[in-house]
Amino acid sequence: MRNRIFILIFIAITGNIICLAQNYNTNVNQNQNNIIVNNQPVIERVKYIEKYRTVYVERPQPKRYARKLSAPVCLLSSIWVYVEDLGDFRSLADAQEIVNRLNAVGKHGRNDWRIPTSAELTVMEQNADEIGLGDGIYLATSHRNGILRPVSTGASISEKNRANQAYQRRLAEEERRQTAARNMKLQAQQQIINSGQGISDGASLIWAPKNVNANSAYEKGSVLSSYRTTGKWRLPSSYELSNFKQKAAFSQRPYNGVLRKVYVYKDIILVGGRYLTKDGYYDLGTSDGISGSQGYVRLVQDLEQ
């Protein structure tokens, strides 16, 4: 009885071993048979991790076929890729001619298409399926041959037009603002002229209506303090006095009871003598002896044109 039991156990164990061996041989044989991927016969290698479970460690990649897109695709929020491949070029010059033609007509709403850089081409390769790249060699600025797929990193034509329109509106508004400010200044200066508080030379300056004879440093300081509070009146420069002298009519006539050389231009009367200027002193004609800290003071302000 015991012998019969041992014989049955032995037969069962032997049967299981034979089945496992047959399954292993079947899997190995299947692994060595050809399978079809993209209509190409290939061998697929597998590795057994545990019983009844496999993991593929090498699987043939399907061939990449170039295709045309319906519209340009944006990568990394800044690189716009053209919709299709444009030939296989042997020089950058030939490719650039095609790019120039695209920009001339504003193809797909852009006029800054160009040959991609190597860095941009790397990004394009990483997104080959999305943008429809094929298996060929693509042209970049770092090498001189390959398939051209232009890129654009600037604004579209419509975006440029909107930006230009906004710029023109800002220019117009700034010009309007400046014109309004200038008109206000002109009105204020015209009031000065109309009230007799100033005389225009018709060119660049409004002159105070009279000379101040500063016979001492105290009088000169008093005049300067007075004009500084207005924020507009100032001392003329030597150049401005010289320019006035060249345009003025010269005569010799009584002035404040004394015979003086007198220069007249546009109802502005200056007498010969030493004038205080913002850059020192200027002797208009022959000095009458005023020197040192003394001298005539004639204030001016700039005339808005």
- The model's pLDDT over 87-134, given as tens digits with 9 standing for 90+, comes to 899 888 899 999 999 999 999 999 999 999 999 999 999 999 999 999
Residue 203 and residue 297 in one domain: yes
- Cα distances from 181 to residues 178, 229, 241, 246, in angstroms, run 5, 22, 29, 33
Q: Determine the pLDDT at residue 213.
A: 61
Indicate whether 169 belongs to any domain.
no
Q: Which domain holds residue 81?
A: 73-154
Indicate whether 191 belongs to any domain.
no
Q: Determine the pLDDT at residue 232.
A: 80
Q: Determine the pLDDT at residue 108.
A: 96
Q: If 0-12 CB within 10 Å is exposed, 13-18 middle and 19+ buried, where does residue 282 land?
A: buried
Indicate whether 189 belongs to any domain.
no
Q: Of 154, 176, 191, which marks where a domain is finished?
A: 154
Residue 211 and residue 265 in one domain: yes
Distance in angstroms between the alpha carbons of the first and the last residue of the chain = 133
Q: Averaged over 256-279, what is the pLDDT?
A: 83
- 92 by DSSP, 3-state: which? helix
At 299, the amino acid letter reads: L
Residue 49 and residue 81 in one domain: no
Bridge partners of 251, per DSSP, are 262
Q: Averaged over 76-85, what is the pLDDT?
A: 96
Q: Determine the pLDDT at residue 14.
A: 56
Residue 27 and residue 95 in one domain: no
pLDDT score of 234 more than 60: yes
Q: Averaged over 32-39, what is the pLDDT?
A: 44
Residue 92 and residue 26 in one domain: no
Q: Determine the pLDDT at residue 260.
A: 74
Helix then strand then coil, in percent of the chain rounded to 5, is 40, 25, 35
Residue 298 and residue 203 in one domain: yes
Q: Determine the pLDDT at residue 230.
A: 58
Q: Of 123, 139, 154, which marks where a domain is finished?
A: 154
